[in-house]
Structure 1
Amino acid sequence: MSTLGEMEAVPEADRAPGAPHPRETQRLFGQEIAETTILDAFNLGRMHHAWLLTGPKGVGKATLAWRIARFLLATPEDQADALFAAPKPDTLDIPANHPVAHHIHAMAEPRLFLLRRPWDVKTAKLKTVITVEEVRKLHPFFGMSAADGGRRVVIVDAADEMNPSAANALLKMLEEPPKGATLLLVSHQPSRLLPTIRSRCRTLPLATLGAEDMRAALGQAGIDAPENAGLAELAGGSVGEAVALIQQEGLTLYAEILNLAATLPRMDRGLAAKLSQSAGARGADDRFTLTLDLIDRFMARLARAGATGSPPPEILPDEAQLLTRLAPDMGAGRAWADLAADLTARARAGKAVNLDPAALILDMCLRIGSTAERLPL
């Protein structure tokens, strides 16, 4: 396990850019059901040896994993069922001045193991996968003697990033879990995991966050969130995604896309050229990627409005009226859905061959315009 000094010297694979590390986050917002599930299992003596924390990226899965780890390692092992023990805990909160909290924050808790993508000294980059060598380090970790009865916690973040050899090595430990061990697997895409890994874990799904919980979570992270409640909708209820959108002025860029769409069915080519040029500017790789992503989200919202007969919650004022006008019925919704699939494929192919970003965005805009002209709007 890395020391604090080592962590300060290299990037951390499980830390979102511009946000505190999950181990530094004391409160978790919007996940009361998940926390209650853990507490009930603990208090009833039914704590499973392996938990699969699932949900979209950035909703708090890693934060919950660290909260569970602090709780398990700071709470006496017999507290859940001893006859004369203290009252059963009703929260996962552990005071920040608790010795275990101090040790975990400094990455110096010997009973906790963090399994994540390692730093490659040779390439001076993070490895792209969790390797089998990292998983094998669990053998000596579980073999250490302890005066506390042997309770151990392992956080795997993210389990989706294990290569096949690593996944198979972890599977063996899940099949024969060491006594007193709890494994917490963070997974953004559980379908990518081996079915046998999923079957040996208790799945704990986490929900996306609403506007109030989103604002509170961002405030805790020291990030000024706009008052616009549409940020949570645009971010898909993900705090991590909201942080990225704030840093890249995503709401402003989405407003530009809506302004362009408002000129349909006769698209303003001047606005289309302006959007494409800003996305394709030299050194604007992040803006190019975000522009592709936000166009894709807008197209998905158009398709949804047409298919359901009602627009999704607004991200920006007057968006609902625009979506309703451009996707008035199921036929229009189907046309936008087909176009969205085509644009996604073209964007993927264009990036693969390093097509000029500005040309790619402009082509997408023109295809949106052509589709709108064919629809009875």
Structure 2
Amino acid sequence: MSDDTPTSDQAPGAPHPRETLRIFGQDAAEQAFLSAYNSDRLHHGWLLSGPRGVGKATLAWRIARFLLATPPADDGGLFGAPPQPETLDIDPDHPVCHRILAGAEPGLAAITRSLNDQGRLRGEIVVDDIRKLGRFFGLSSADGGRRVVIVDAADELNVSAANALLKMLEEPPARTTLLLVSHQPSRLLPTIRSRCRTLRLSPLGPEDVQAALAQTETEIPAQPDHLAALAAGSVGDAVRLINLGGLEIYAELIAILGTLPRMDRQRALALATAAAQRGAAERFELLLTLIDVALARLALTGATGAAPSPEAAPNEAEILTRLSASPHQARRWAEVAAVVTARGRHGQAVNLDPAALVLDTVFKIQEAAGQNR
């Protein structure tokens, strides 16, 4: 695959998970895997679940490096069995690491959404992607070593692909470990979930997010608290926010909310126009997400009697508290959030004009603010 080919398992602007040697904030998941490995209870199927962007794919590639670079214990050797590993760390100069970075490790197969005949990324993993594993198992079985398969993300399997993968989980090839990355395990076949051991990854704390960002060489913004509030413990979301100007978009959105109940329509129009610019599809998607976030934080403010902390934008706490000062207003904002989210996703699905969709959303919010007075 060429360097300019789009991939579905890499956050925009971030290194690919295979290039990320360290993982932060997921010690419990890593130790759970090591415990199984060291006690000879290494399951053939592992489900790595948790919110998007918390390190599931990074952990999958880290496990793959470890399994392929760590020789099996040999109790019959002259010097006895080697000491049990205490970490998944592998020397970056190990040949397995070099081969994985080059995409040339024969013991590893990565399954993601592939390209269609027009060279565009498919919306799902198809059965042909899974059937390729048959050839992979045939080619790599002669060396007698371990084999690892990473599926990222398993949520994207269509029905035929899911059933094909299920057969492999039911009758796994010898010395093979399947690592399934899943953002929403409820979307998987129950039979797939039941045949995997689950490693649950949690959102990262602010310090771990900053450490992970430093590893990706992403510049930390001047308002790290704002980033922490919006990223909600997801390094992937943090990278996306930084690269797409998400902090600035959210600050402008909150400033517009601050003009309610008499909306500053010029600022709203400018926000909508920016979302409709050519090539701004990712920023438009981010704007819709940030509108959802703002409405959720409005509802939370009224329900709890206090604005979420830390703030995600300048003066956010004062603005949210004024607009959502009671449980009644919180319920109203929650209802608006449900309507706005549904209308926004429908508008995307039918390719409505982005500017018109954003304005419609903003005016719906203005209407709710007037009713909440």
TM-based fold match above 0.5:
yes
Aligned residue identity for 1:365: V
How far the C-alpha of 1:307 sits from its partner, in A, is: 2.0
* Aligned counterpart, 2:260: 264
Aligned residue identity for 2:290: L
User: 2 CA distance for matches of 1:102 and 1:375?
Assistant: 60
Checking the alignment, whether the CA contact within 8 Å between 2:73 and 2:82 is kept in structure 1 is: no
SS in 1 for 2:3: helix
* Aligned counterpart, 2:50: 55
SS in 2 for 1:52: strand
Checking the alignment, whether the CA contact within 8 Å between 1:264 and 1:369 is kept in structure 2 is: yes
Instruction: Confirm or deny that 1:374 pairs with 2:371.
Output: yes
Instruction: Confirm or deny that 1:153 pairs with 2:148.
Output: yes
SS in 2 for 1:8: coil
SS in 1 for 2:149: strand
Instruction: Confirm or deny that 1:218 pairs with 2:213.
Output: yes
* Aligned counterpart, 2:308: 312
User: 2 CA distance for matches of 1:128 and 1:138?
Assistant: 20
Instruction: Confirm or deny that 1:109 pairs with 2:131.
Output: no
Return the match for 1:96 from 92, 111, 122: 92
How far the C-alpha of 1:312 sits from its partner, in A, is: 2.0
Return the match for 1:238 from 219, 228, 234: 234
* Aligned counterpart, 1:347: 344
How many residue pairs align between the two structures? 370
Q: Percent identity?
A: 58
Quickly say closer, same or farther: Cα 1:188–1:81, change in 2 above 3 A.
farther
User: 1 CA distance for matches of 2:90 and 2:368?
Assistant: 56
Quickly say closer, same or farther: Cα 1:78–1:149, change in 2 above 3 A.
farther
Checking the alignment, whether the CA contact within 8 Å between 1:51 and 1:201 is kept in structure 2 is: yes
User: 2 CA distance for matches of 1:9 and 1:284?
Assistant: 19
Quickly say closer, same or farther: Cα 1:48–1:359, change in 2 above 3 A.
same
User: 2 CA distance for matches of 1:80 and 1:243?
Assistant: 46
Quickly say closer, same or farther: Cα 1:46–1:366, change in 2 above 3 A.
same
Instruction: Confirm or deny that 1:178 pairs with 2:179.
Output: no
Instruction: Confirm or deny that 1:26 pairs with 2:21.
Output: yes
How far the C-alpha of 1:366 sits from its partner, in A, is: 2.0
Quickly say closer, same or farther: Cα 1:79–1:368, change in 2 above 3 A.
farther
Q: What TM-score, normalized to structure 1?
A: 0.92
Q: Which runs of 5 or more structure 1 residues have no equivalent in the other structure?
A: 1-5
How far the C-alpha of 1:80 sits from its partner, in A, is: 9.6
User: 2 CA distance for matches of 1:81 and 1:41?
Assistant: 22
Aligned residue identity for 1:95: D
How far the C-alpha of 1:282 sits from its partner, in A, is: 4.4
SS in 2 for 1:73: helix
Instruction: Confirm or deny that 1:328 pairs with 2:325.
Output: yes
User: 2 CA distance for matches of 1:286 and 1:67?
Assistant: 29
SS in 2 for 1:58: coil
Checking the alignment, whether the CA contact within 8 Å between 2:301 and 2:330 is kept in structure 1 is: yes
Aligned residue identity for 1:103: R
Q: What TM-score, normalized to structure 2?
A: 0.92
Quickly say closer, same or farther: Cα 1:54–1:152, change in 2 above 3 A.
same
Checking the alignment, whether the CA contact within 8 Å between 1:209 and 1:232 is kept in structure 2 is: no
User: 2 CA distance for matches of 1:207 and 1:235?
Assistant: 13
How far the C-alpha of 1:243 sits from its partner, in A, is: 1.5
